[in-house]
Amino acid sequence: ILNVEQSPQSLHVQEGDSTNFTCSFPSSNFYALHWYRWETAKSPEALFVMTLNGDEKKKGRISATLNTKEGYSYLYIKGSQPEDSATYLCARNTGNQFYFGTGTSLTVIP
């Protein structure tokens, strides 16, 4: 099974709220897990690349954790701002191929 699944599909939060999304993936043949941020009318931009079980990465108010044994990663946004509105994609890297989830669409309401 190669599917990467993301939940929820979409999310609306109030400005200032903290939120989190889930990326689930098969734990076999794991090389890395990537997170991307994709704003409307732009291209996806890399947020994090995570390789080791227990990895935690942080960039400003956004952070991510990785559990390769159970096959999931969480992305957290603390104190959401309207500019955080975007689709957040995760991708599983297995050797030379990447398998993307369908993304979580976040809307932050001012």
Partner 1 sequence: NAGVTQTPKFQVLKTGQSMTLQCAQDMNHEYMSWYRQDPGMGLRLIHYSVGAGITDQGEVPNGYNVSRSTTEDFPLRLLSAAPSQTSVYFCASSLQSGTGFYGYTFGSGTRLTVV
Please report how close the Cβ of residue 39 comes to partner 1 at its closest, in angstroms. 12
Residues 6 or more apart whose Cβ sits within 8 Å of residue 50: 32, 33, 34, 35, 57, 64, 66, 73
Residues 6 or more apart whose Cβ sits within 8 Å of residue 73: 22, 23, 25, 33, 35, 50, 64, 65, 66, 67, 90
Please report how close the Cβ of residue 57 comes to partner 1 at its closest, in angstroms. 11
Q: Which of 11, 47, 66, 86 binds partner 1 (CB under 8 A)?
A: 47
Q: Which of 1, 40, 96, 110 binds partner 1 (CB under 8 A)?
A: 96
Q: Which of 21, 25, 36, 88 binds partner 1 (CB under 8 A)?
A: 36
Q: Which of 1, 40, 43, 60 binds partner 1 (CB under 8 A)?
A: 43
Q: Is 58 in the site for partner 1 (CB under 8 A)?
A: no
The encoded tokens of residue 67 equal 């559990």
CA atoms of 31 and 52, how far apart (whole Å) = 9
Contact positions vs partner 1 (CB under 8 A): 4, 31-32, 34, 36, 42-49, 51, 89, 91, 93, 96-103
